[in-house]
């Protein structure tokens, strides 16, 4: 029987720190040579609970590569020592050599610090010894212990046939993880069908998932294979499972328990589908509120993978930043911007940009980081230095002086979203704001804010009178109401549900 695989934030922290008394893991997050970002060194404490830091030691390595020192000729050859005492902030034990700043990291609860050497090199120092993980594996970029553990869980669950529930904030990589589970398992080579349940109107959800027979209802001129049959032999990934209407949940449970589905107006059919599901909401709350069936949750959560927010995986931020910048620069034909030419040159990606990323909150997680990196690369491709600012203020860095005339890039990016671009994308996604936000690569909250700014209708903002008028004009047909008001069917259903 497959074991229950659950990664909680506490486990992740524990994973980061298997032998926390033994030493520390240092990860390069900023370096004049950006190709070194993500390399790490596991350094044992000496007899006085100290670790040395200099141009020559310790040796940093990428997975499977030989170690090399930091090398930067501007760093001292003789080591400065960082001393650790349980429960306390580390201190430089030789202040004469103290070359640097030392800051605790947000959310790390006294277990991780950011260290800057001569404003040239930035290091993340975490309690615990661990070997260098790969920078990218299964499509997941990151060197944190949480990402290393997620990859192990992906490999473990890929070998099973049980459903997997992926839980994490928007943009944390749930879909990527689902793709990796499919690609690592025996069903690779068979279809992987992805369905976003928040983008399907309740009224057509059953027919879209389970199909229908010819003539099953007025518009059913032809028989239609639903997503389950399209995924037969492979994997079906149901994104936003928390948005599945209750009636659909009953049929999903049957498909999971009995391996059969019933197209509307058709015969019961056997299907061989592995189900993966994702949610960014707490399904237990949904169960308590009567919006989600307990039996379905039990069935889905036998293997649960929790993806931590990016802000709780600081070791991943810098390596993803370099990855997304490299991708954006490749599209601009300017990848050389990330290559170091000489130690004396000022780097294009300097510590200021790294710190902006490291201390931001990233509510849209990797999706938002990718958007900010692409935007910054575009603006700075021909500039001497990359400037990266973020939508959310830094979590631990000093509060910046407000500069009301200068919008942060994420806001600039949101403003660049024209009304027509937003309306077209919404129309292409059945007016689902989440679906459109994903397509436009912005956080849903950013899109909501921009829609409010532009006066684009949202179901939640319609007045009761507007709703009542549309209800009367459409004869109570929810689809027609949604079309007439330019909002999602689900939004209308929510409003009507509340009004009842």
Ligand X SMILES: Nc1ncnc2c1ncn2[C@@H]1O[C@H](COP(=O)(O)OP(=O)(O)OP(=O)(O)O)[C@@H](O)[C@H]1O
Instruction: State the Cα angle at 95 between 89 and 98, rounded to 5°.
Output: 80
**Nearest CB to ligand X, comparing residues 39 and 240:** 240
Instruction: State the Cα angle at 29 between 26 and 31, rounded to 5°.
Output: 105
**By CB under 6 A, is residue 367 in contact with ligand X?**
yes
Find the binder of ligand X among 173, 201, 211, 491 (CB under 6 A): 173
95-103, 122-130, 174-182, 202-210 -> range binding ligand X (CB under 6 A): 174-182
**By CB under 6 A, is residue 174 in contact with ligand X?**
yes
Strand partners, 266: none
Taking the complex as a whole, the smallest distance from the CB of residue 323 to ligand X amounts, in Å, to 6
Instruction: Examine residue 58 and say whether the peptide bond preceding it is cis (omega within 30 degrees of 0).
Output: yes
Site map 313..342 versus ligand X, x via CB under 6 A: -------x----------------------
**By CB under 6 A, is residue 16 in contact with ligand X?**
no
| Contact yes or no for 185/179 (Cβ under 8 A) | no
**Nearest CB to ligand X, comparing residues 71 and 175:** 175
Taking the complex as a whole, the smallest distance from the CB of residue 154 to ligand X amounts, in Å, to 11
Taking the complex as a whole, the smallest distance from the CB of residue 60 to ligand X amounts, in Å, to 21
Count residues near ligand X (CB under 6 A). 19
| Contact yes or no for 124/315 (Cβ under 8 A) | yes
Find the binder of ligand X among 33, 72, 101, 175 (CB under 6 A): 175
**By CB under 6 A, is residue 442 in contact with ligand X?**
no
**By CB under 6 A, is residue 432 in contact with ligand X?**
no
Taking the complex as a whole, the smallest distance from the CB of residue 278 to ligand X amounts, in Å, to 6
**By CB under 6 A, is residue 446 in contact with ligand X?**
no
90-98, 135-143, 182-190, 269-277 -> range binding ligand X (CB under 6 A): 135-143
228-236, 351-359, 364-372, 400-408 -> range binding ligand X (CB under 6 A): 364-372
| Contact yes or no for 488/482 (Cβ under 8 A) | yes
- Report the distance separating Cα 59 and Cα 87, nearest Å: 27
Strand partners, 26: 41, 125
**By CB under 6 A, is residue 438 in contact with ligand X?**
yes
> Per DSSP, which regions of 191-302 are E strands?
192-196, 235-239, 260-261, 269-270, 274-279
Task: Please list, in sequence order, all residues whose beta carbon lies within 8 angstroms of the beta carbon of residue 146, skipping any fewer than 6 positions away.
Answer: 7, 12, 15, 16, 308, 312, 313, 316
Half-sphere exposure of 367 (CA within 13 A, CB side): 22
**By CB under 6 A, is residue 304 in contact with ligand X?**
no
**Nearest CB to ligand X, comparing residues 224 and 313:** 313
- Report the distance separating Cα 74 and Cα 158, nearest Å: 47
**By CB under 6 A, is residue 234 in contact with ligand X?**
no
What are the residue ranges of helices labelled H in 308-432?
314-332, 351-358, 365-380, 409-415, 419-428
- Report the distance separating Cα 91 and Cα 96, nearest Å: 12
168-176, 205-213, 395-403, 454-462 -> range binding ligand X (CB under 6 A): 168-176
**Nearest CB to ligand X, comparing residues 144 and 251:** 144
**Nearest CB to ligand X, comparing residues 123 and 278:** 278
43-51, 117-125, 137-145, 330-338 -> range binding ligand X (CB under 6 A): 137-145
Q: In what order do the strands lie in the sheet with 40-44?
A: 40-44, 23-30, 121-127, 112-117, 100-104
Taking the complex as a whole, the smallest distance from the CB of residue 81 to ligand X amounts, in Å, to 34
Q: Phi, psi (5° rounding) for residue 68? A: -145, 150
Question: Which tokens belong to 375?
Answer: 């935007």
Find the binder of ligand X among 27, 153, 157, 170 (CB under 6 A): 170
Find the binder of ligand X among 40, 144, 302, 366 (CB under 6 A): 366
Site map 368..387 versus ligand X, x via CB under 6 A: --x-----------------
**By CB under 6 A, is residue 275 in contact with ligand X?**
no
Number of H helices and number of E strands within the chain? Answer: 18, 18
**Nearest CB to ligand X, comparing residues 369 and 470:** 369
**By CB under 6 A, is residue 239 in contact with ligand X?**
yes
Helix axes 145-158, 174-184, angle to 10 degrees: 40
Between β-strands 164-168 and 140-141, what pairing exists: parallel, antiparallel or unpaired?
unpaired
**By CB under 6 A, is residue 140 in contact with ligand X?**
yes
**By CB under 6 A, is residue 168 in contact with ligand X?**
yes
**By CB under 6 A, is residue 176 in contact with ligand X?**
yes
Which residues would be at the binding site for ligand X (CB under 6 A)? 140-142, 168, 170-176, 239, 278, 280, 320, 366-367, 370, 438
């Amino acid at each position: 029987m497959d074991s229950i695989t659950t990664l909680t934030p506490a486990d992740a922290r524990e994973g980061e720190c298997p032998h926390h008394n033994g030493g520390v893991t240092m990860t390069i997050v900023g370096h004049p040579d950006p190709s070194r970002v993500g390399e790490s060194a596991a350094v044992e404490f000496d007899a006085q609970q100290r670790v040395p830091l200099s141009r020559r030691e310790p040796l940093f390595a990428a997975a499977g590569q030989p170690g090399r020192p930091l090398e930067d000729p501007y760093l001292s050859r003789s080591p400065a020592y960082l001393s650790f005492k349980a429960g306390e902030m580390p201190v430089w034990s030789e202040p004469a050599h103290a070359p640097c700043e030392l800051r605790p990291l947000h959310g790390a609860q006294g277990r991780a610090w950011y260290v800057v050497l001569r404003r040239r090199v930035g290091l993340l120092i975490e309690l615990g010894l661990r070997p260098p993980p790969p920078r990218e594996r299964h499509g997941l970029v990151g060197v944190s212990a949480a990402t290393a553990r997620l990859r192990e869980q992906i490999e473990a669950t890929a070998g099973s046939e049980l459903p997997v529930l992926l839980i994490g904030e928007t943009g944390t990589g749930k879909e990527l993880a689902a793709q990796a589970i499919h690609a690592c398992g025996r069903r690779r080579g068979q279809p992987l069908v992805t369905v976003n349940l928040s983008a399907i109107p309740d009224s057509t959800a059953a027919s879209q998932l389970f199909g229908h027979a010819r003539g099953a209802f007025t518009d059913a001129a032809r028989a239609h294979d639903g997503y389950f049959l399209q995924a037969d032999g492979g994997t079906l990934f149901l994104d936003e499972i928390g948005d599945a209407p209750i009636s659909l949940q009953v049929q999903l449970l049957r498909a999971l328990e009995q391996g059969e589905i019933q197209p509307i107006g058709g015969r019961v059919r056997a299907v061989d589908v592995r189900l993966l599901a994702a949610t960014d909401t707490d399904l237990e709350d949904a169960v308590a509120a009567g919006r989600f069936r307990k039996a379905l949750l039990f069935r889905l959560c036998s293997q649960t993978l929790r993806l931590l927010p990016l802000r709780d995986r600081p070791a991943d931020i810098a390596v993803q930043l370099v990855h997304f910048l490299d991708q954006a620069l490749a599209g601009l034909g300017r990848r050389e911007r990330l290559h170091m030419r000489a130690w004396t040159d000022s780097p294009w990606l300097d510590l200021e940009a790294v710190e902006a990323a490291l201390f931001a909150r990233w509510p849209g997680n990797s999706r938002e980081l990718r958007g900010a990196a692409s935007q910054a690369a575009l603006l700075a491709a021909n500039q001497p230095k990359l400037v990266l600012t973020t939508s959310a203020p830094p979590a631990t860095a000093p509060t910046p002086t407000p500069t009301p005339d200068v919008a942060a890039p994420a806001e600039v990016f949101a403003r660049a979203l024209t009304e027509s671009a937003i309306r077209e994308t919404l129309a292409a996604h059945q007016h689902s704001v989440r679906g459109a936000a994903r397509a436009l690569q912005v956080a849903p909250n950013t899109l909501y804010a921009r829609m409010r700014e532009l006066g684009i209708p949202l179901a939640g903002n319609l007045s009761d009178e507007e709703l009542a008028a549309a209800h009367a004009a459409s004869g109570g047909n929810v689809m027609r109401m949604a079309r007439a008001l330019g909002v999602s069917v689900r939004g209308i259903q929510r409003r009507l549900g509340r009004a009842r």
